[in-house]
Amino acid sequence: MATVKVTGKVSKVFGASAQGLSLVESYKSATGEDYTRIWTAWFSVAHNLDVDAEVTLVGQLSTKIEEYQDRNGNPARKVKLDINNAQLDAVKAAPAVSAPF
């Protein structure tokens, strides 16, 4: 199985033991356009990461083609990107939120 290394921002933490997360990766295309890609990462143990933390993960790449209906009700396909057996490579903490008082 292929190994992948992805850097992005944690957008969601899920699972009964916080063993999963959604990671948003931002990148530029060859023509300079900005894009985002959403990854689902699965850990073997709880990861204790917060939403908005910037992390780099390494793990096994898994893909799956999913069918869905777009906004207009037309059939469409997308590729679901998973990182299995994810390991933390680097963590940049989420920005602190200041209280209004």
Half-sphere exposure of residue 85: CA atoms within 13 angstroms, side-chain side: 8
In a domain, residue 100? The reply is no
CATH of the domain at 27: 2.40.50
Q: What is the pLDDT along the chain (101 residues), one digit of tens a residue?
A: 799 999 999 999 998 888 999 999 999 999 999 999 999 999 998 888 999 999 999 999 999 999 999 999 999 999 999 999 999 998 886 565 555 55
Q: Which positions ≥6 away from 37 have C-beta within 8 Å?
A: 24, 25, 27, 81
Q: Which residue range(s) make up the domain with 80?
A: 3-92
> Strand, coil or helix: what is 91?
strand
Model pTM score? 0.81
**Count of domains forming the chain:** 1
pLDDT at residue 101, as a whole number? 52
In a domain, residue 97? The reply is no
In a domain, residue 101? The reply is no
